[in-house]
Amino acid sequence: MCYADLKAKRLKYHISQSKLAVASGYTKAAISSWERNKVIPSPYDLEKLNAILTQLIDAINAGTLNIQKKSIRPSQFASHALPKNIKSPEEYKSLLSAYSPLSYNPYRAKLSELYKCAQCPKSSASPKAIALFSGCGGMSLGFASAGFNVIGHVEIDESACQIYHHNFPHSTLLAHDICSITDKDLFSWQQQYGPIDLIIGGPPCQGFSLAGKRDPEDVRNQLYKYYVHIVSVLRPKIFVMENVRLLTSMKTSDGELFIDCILRAFSSTGYSITRHEINASDYGVPQTRERLFLVGVRSDLNKKFIFPDSIPSDTQKLTFRDATFDLPFLESGESSLDPLHWSISHPTHVIQWLKNVPEGHSAHENIDPALRPPSGFNTTYKRIRWDEPCSTISTNFSMISGCRNVHPSSTRSLTIREATRAQSFPDEFIFTGKWGDIRRAIGNAVPPILAACIAKALYQQFFDIKSF
């Protein structure tokens, strides 16, 4: 089925774009853009419009609807109320089960397989891991999918802890505040769980990121010291620490590079450190996300970690289209049956600024000065591109005024579902809580696909018996 067929049906029965819009719940602008081949509708949208058109035509043929005179009421498919905060995993699963994508998405299928692998029971021989600064579980999901048994975690944010618990019910919350962990606590972990093979985690990055103030005195910049101490006591074979790439250029108040302080601290505990600056889009994530990884190997292992190869340069990176083409088309204020795929309602004047802005461009570039935002940079009020990885998913991805947060063709910011896909979270991953808390958890997370790439390489090099 193609849209030309639907357009022919619409015209044959003299159904206007406006009346089809009311009946279907799509905007007239969306229908117009499809008919002018400005935007390609997803298979889901084609099926939905075909169903609506069929109902209207059946009513016309039955004589119960005079399309020229009678106004149209929204059908049962037209729109869905914007969802309320999701309170429980059961509610999330119930809402998600009501939504069935009408087209196959190989990327979505890959994420589902990752989730299934992570949920598989681990044996007593599986290498044991602890997640520090676990967040909602992006890094844990990747490592669990590779065969690691994530037995415990540390996270101070209560809402992130709840999301983590729903997806990793067998992981123990060892502590909320890493600063409160004592040596007595660490020794008790050893007694309870035995030797810990791996420690993973990324201290908060806001103190190092351009999105923050990059204040050398930010107390969060010192949290790595607690990470170092835990490693020095538990003595895992490996540790993996993640942070923003800009950590490499941040200096202390004394003028020393933070990265040098961190490397020196870990090295002093008897670990050989390798550092890797990467872009997540080079590892199968449909998002440009530059990050720094430090991988420490205990010196007595006499082995160096070899970072996994990235996607070959002549291979097409995954794009925003690859990640989201199967999702229903939405404009500002619209929703779908997917509990995470709904749009914030944006002010009319902002929609006017962005309405005719092409993908990859900003409203600041509009020829008419009256259609330009009064302040900001050219990276704000800017559309991402369909056929490129999207920009970094930050905690403010729902702000249409943020940095490259505008959908390629719809005039709105990204939905939560689009952000989870761009971050490589499976649709099955359970998100509960207030919407703001969910967005923050997603924006702060390590992309699971990226974590899985690193985890598989670690497993093969250090924990697979065949590697020795």
The catalytic residues are 205
Among residues 227, 224, 307, 232, the alpha carbon closest in space to that of 259 is found at: 224
d(CA 214, CA 221): 9
d(CA 302, CA 245): 28
| Percentages (nearest 5) of helix, strand, coil residues in the chain | 40, 15, 45
Kindly write down the DSSP assignment for every residue of 14-44, as one continuous string. T--HHHHHHHHS--HHHHHHHHTTSSPPPHH
Instruction: Return the CA Rg of the chain.
Output: 25
The CA-based angle 262-134-244, given to 5 degrees, is 45
d(CA 45, CA 36): 16
Q: How many CB atoms lie within 10 A of CB 409?
A: 18
b/e map 438-462, b = 16+ CB within 10 Å = bbbbbbbbbbbbbbbbbbbbbbebb
Q: How far is CA 259 from CA 25, 82, 200, 248, 249, in A?
A: 52, 44, 18, 5, 8
Q: Which amino acid is at 307?
A: F
Coil, helix or strand at residue 442: helix
The CA-based angle 161-180-118, given to 5 degrees, is 30
Q: Which residues contact 302 (CB under 8 A, 6 or more apart)?
A: none
Cβ–Cβ < 8 Å for 460, 467: yes
Left, alpha or beta for 29 (phi > 0: left; psi -120 to 50: alpha)?
alpha
Helices of type H across 211-356: 224-234, 258-267, 320-324, 348-354
Tokens of residue 328, six digits: 């229903």
Phi and psi angles of residue 420, each rounded to the nearest 5 degrees, phi first: -65, -40
